[in-house]
Structure 1
Amino acid sequence: MDDNAQSGVTHSNIKKKSHNPTAVALTIGNGDDLTPRIAAAGRGKIAEQILQLAFANGVKVREDSALAEMLAKIELESPIPSEAFLAVAEIMSYVYKANNQPNPFDALLDISASATAIDDTPKED
Structure 2
Amino acid sequence: MNPQSPKRKAAALRYEGDKAAAPKVTAAGKGYVADNIIAKAEAANVPIQEDSTLVELLAELNINETIPEELYQAVAEVFAFVYRADRKL
TM-score (norm 1): 0.61
2:38 to 39, 44, 51: 51
Q: Give runs of ≥4 in structure 1 deviating > 6 Å.
A: none
**Higher RCO (C-alpha under 8 Å, 6+ residues apart):** 2
Q: How many residues align?
A: 85
* Residue 84 of structure 1, CA deviation: 1.3
The residue correspondences of 1:25-64 to structure 2 (distance < 5 A) are 25-31=12-18, 33-64=20-51
Report what 1:78 is aligned to. Answer: 65
* Other structure's SS at 1:50 match: helix
Q: Give me the CA root mean square deviation.
A: 1.8
More strand by share: 1
2:85 aligns to what? 98
Q: CA deviation at 1:30?
A: 4.5
What 5-or-longer segments of structure 2 have no aligned partner?
none
State the one-letter code of the partner of 2:38.
L
Give the Cα separation in 1 of the matches to 2:76 and 2:42: 21
Q: For residue 65 of structure 1, what is the amino acid of its counterpart?
A: S
Structure 1 residue 85 displacement after superposition: 1.1
Alpha-carbon distance in structure 1 between the residues aligned to 2:6 and 2:38? 14
Q: If the length of structure 2 is used for normalisation, what is the TM-score?
A: 0.83
Once the two structures are superposed, residues 38-60 of structure 1 have per-residue CA deviations (whole angstroms, 9 ceiling, x without a partner) of 01011110000000111111111
CA distance in 1, matches of 2:79, 2:32: 25
Distance across 1 between alignment mates of 2:19 and 2:27: 22
Choose between structure 1 and 2: higher helix proportion. 2
For the Cα contact (< 8 Å) 2:10–2:29, is it kept in 1?
yes
Distance 1:77 1:21, change over 3 A: same
